Amino acid sequence: MASSDAHNDPIEALASLRHEFGEHGGVNMSIEASSTFTVVDPATMPDIFAGRKGPESGGCYLYGRHFNPTVYNLGRQLAALEGTEAAYCSASGMGAISAVILALCGAGDHVVASHTIYGGTWALLHDFMPSKTGVTTAFVDTTDLAAVKNAITDRTRLLYVESQSNPTLRVADIPSLAAIAREAGIPLVVDNTFTPLVLSPARLGADIVVHSLTKFIGGASDLIGGAVCASAEFIGSLMDLHTGPLMILGPTMDPTVAASVALRVPHLPLRMAAHGERALALAERTAALGVPVAYPGLPSHPDHALIEQLRHPNYGHGGLLTLDAGTEEKAMALMHTLQNEHQFGYVAVSLGYFDTLMSCSATSTSSEMPEEALEAAAIRHGLVRMAVGYTGTLAQRWGQLQTALEAVGLT
């Protein structure tokens, strides 16, 4: 994936982006806090409402729920990172995902999705969409390409996967899935929350990329946000004054949040590399003790060869690993020991924080899924998901983890 072509390298693409200055010449763009925007010529307003003018055509803004300059600038940064024509941001990751699905589907349509995805997304597709819109979903093992093909019907409007599945960390074969989607005439939508910079789904063939900015891109567990990266035409459709899900339903990102995220994007490469380096080291040492550990950077991972083929070389294999403690009781004991006796990390959902966050997925971020769905997705009750942080030294953190594993009888 390494390339000197700025279109292919996310960091070169970001560095090549036009820099926006503050209104008084500050090196950082000013925060545009206005909810509504004036026009010099009253005749311009009908053009904005009709879609003939906007941020890219005349530099015109209408209303904060539609486009905001600060949020728009963040979208330009994310589009550069993901290699798409455009992007825009929402108030949460689920706001972004919901907007994409509602934009692509009409009443009674069909979705094919991975059977191993974030519990909130699973509930949206399994429960909310059928009851509110009649849109149904076939959940399949998307590592089985034949099963994906067989699940697509003439009512299927999109194929949805996560770049690394939550929480099992299976890696999506994005080029192959993109080829299946193209053959069927539907878009491939990839949630790249787990692997910003590590994987570039759009550069690998995906049509639409979504993010929860709350996680790695935000980096400090202090804000909520989401993003959709896609063609300019699709982003425009999300903001359509009549049928655009972001415009009509209003999951608007606050410009102060956008400004905060925009200041964190430039050091995302440093943080992703640090997360990946620490996660790989802990995974290797844990595996050497004989503890069941899953991490795509390990040769034992079923998708290790695939991620080596697809990833950018400078940012590791992602910042998450899983340990299988065998039972829920042992999983809870391990997390309790790590947090309360060793200060290794925190028992909390989410990821991308500078300290390690731990959760038992079956009873937390995947708890929306019934037992049969958990079993199909291989989400066992003893599975501990660790979003590995980079604070402390490796020797310190490994000593804490090793001691806790021994204390609960996993070694």
What is the DSSP secondary-structure string of 92-127?
A: SHHHHHHHHHHHH--TT-EEEEESS--HHHHHIIII
Give the whole-angstrom CA distance, residue 11 versus residue 77: 10
**Alpha helices in 152-200, H assignment, sequence order:** 174-184
Taking residue 294's Cβ as centre, other Cβ atoms within 10 Å add up to 23
Q: What is the pLDDT of residue 208?
A: 98
Give the whole-angstrom CA distance, residue 295 versus residue 320: 7
Amino acid at 238: L
**What are the residues whose beta carbons fall under 8 Å from the beta carbon of 339, sequence distance 6 or more?**
345, 346, 347, 358
* Torsion angle (degrees, nearest 10) of CA 331, 337, 338, 343: 160
Parallel/antiparallel/unpaired status of strands 156-162 and 110-114 = parallel
Give the whole-angstrom CA distance, residue 161 versus residue 190: 5
**What are the residues whose beta carbons fall under 8 Å from the beta carbon of 188, sequence distance 6 or more?**
158, 159, 161, 174, 177, 178, 181, 201, 205, 206, 207, 208
Give the whole-angstrom CA distance, residue 190 versus residue 118: 12
Give the whole-angstrom CA distance, residue 68 versus residue 259: 11
Give the whole-angstrom CA distance, residue 372 versus residue 317: 30
**What kind and span of H or E run contains 360?**
strand 356-360
Q: What is the pLDDT of residue 365?
A: 78
Taking residue 196's Cβ as centre, other Cβ atoms within 10 Å add up to 28
**Alpha helices in 34-104, H assignment, sequence order:** 44-49, 69-82, 93-104
Q: What is the pLDDT of residue 2?
A: 36
90: β partners: 226, 252
Q: What is the pLDDT of residue 346?
A: 98
Q: What is the pLDDT of residue 7?
A: 62
Q: Can you give the pLDDT of all 411 residues of the chain as single tens digits?
A: 433 344 689 999 999 998 989 988 999 999 999 999 999 899 999 988 888 888 988 788 999 999 999 999 999 999 999 999 999 999 999 999 999 999 999 999 999 999 999 999 999 999 999 999 999 999 999 999 999 999 999 999 999 999 999 999 999 999 999 999 999 999 999 999 999 999 999 999 999 999 999 999 999 999 999 999 999 999 999 999 999 999 999 999 999 999 999 999 999 999 999 999 999 999 999 999 999 999 999 999 999 999 999 999 999 999 999 999 999 999 999 999 999 999 999 999 999 999 999 999 888 777 888 888 888 878 888 999 999 999 999 999 999 999 999 999 999
Cis peptide before 245 (omega within 30 of 0): no
Q: Report the predicted TM-score, pTM, of the whole model to 2 decimal places.
A: 0.94
